[in-house]
Structure 1
């Protein structure tokens, strides 16, 4: 079954081991058929869940903009960043400004809440990112890492990335 959306989909996820604590960020951009275009992962030394989610969203939006991956749809499994994008929070003002600017430059793509089960690839790279030893590291993944290949193929079969 084909997805009605034809373009690119960004799935992002932040993973905080403690709240606050060492956090991983990760995401993947796929085409509308579920094929891997690019992914990313890394860590933020000390963070909370919201900061991790906003950081990984910003990284994914920056990658999409730099590569001209349009039209774009954004899928995240945490409702808080979606709400904050539309509102504000004094602790995250700068990050929210940056996210809004990136979204504007990308043509204001939809940000949709997705269930964790449909965000398994992003969750896996975020968890792996939290394990990296260098703080505030970021790794661009041009090909899917071995630990997500099975999840990526399963998503394509179920169309759960849509």
Structure 2
């Protein structure tokens, strides 16, 4: 996917081609406290960075969107030109592909994600099974329990 106003989100696997993978996730407690996290790795599996963020109170779906948004910001700030984003929620991947959502909170966050996608770089969003996203699931769950802002690793 190219940016410059022509961004798109596909499910085609481009990880080996792109060389950078972002696994992101979001989590929500029963009381609504939520967090998100992400891990960025090279195609060789080498750790490039990670983050965990306390969001406040929201749904698990919105927390997962926050994980994608914060992860894309982090990757772009690292100066990387392309990324494959792995998310363990098919509903999130499909909502991002549709590019719109009637829910005000979700819609605004999806728009912010697309503002990042539309920059001059390649972004591929792919659904993965929860088992392959366990590390970022732990980061997301840890952050809402600490109620801190954002931590970078």
TM-score bracket, shorter-length normalisation: 0.7 to 0.9
Deviations 1:133-156 (A, max 9, x none): 34xx11111xxxxxxxxxxxxxxx
Residue 14, structure 1, aligned to residue 26, structure 2: yes
The structure-2 alpha-carbon separation of the partners of 1:70 and 1:25, relative to structure 1 and needing over 3 Å to count, comes to same
Counterpart residue number, 1:89: 101
Residue 7 of structure 1 deviates from its aligned partner by 1.2
Task: Please tell me whether the aligned partners of residues 72 and 106 of structure 1 are also in contact (alpha carbons under 8 angstroms).
Answer: no
Deviations 1:112-161 (A, max 9, x none): 00011111111111111121134xx11111xxxxxxxxxxxxxxxxxxxx
Query: How many pairs does the alignment contain?
Result: 136
Counterpart residue number, 2:141: 127
Deviations 1:53-83 (A, max 9, x none): 1111100000111111232111010111111
TM-score (norm 2): 0.82
Counterpart residue number, 2:54: 43
Task: Please tell me whether the aligned partners of residues 18 and 84 of structure 2 are also in contact (alpha carbons under 8 angstroms).
Answer: no
Counterpart residue number, 1:33: 44
Indicate the structure whose relative CO is greater, using CA pairs within 8 Å and at least 6 residues apart: 2
Task: Please tell me whether the aligned partners of residues 25 and 37 of structure 2 are also in contact (alpha carbons under 8 angstroms).
Answer: yes
Task: Please tell me whether the aligned partners of residues 37 and 137 of structure 2 are also in contact (alpha carbons under 8 angstroms).
Answer: yes
Matches of 1:43 and 1:95, distance apart in 2: 16
Task: Please tell me whether the aligned partners of residues 11 and 122 of structure 1 are also in contact (alpha carbons under 8 angstroms).
Answer: yes
Task: Please tell me whether the aligned partners of residues 65 and 106 of structure 1 are also in contact (alpha carbons under 8 angstroms).
Answer: no
CA RMSD of the aligned region, Å?
A: 1.6
Counterpart residue number, 1:59: 70
Counterpart residue number, 2:87: 76
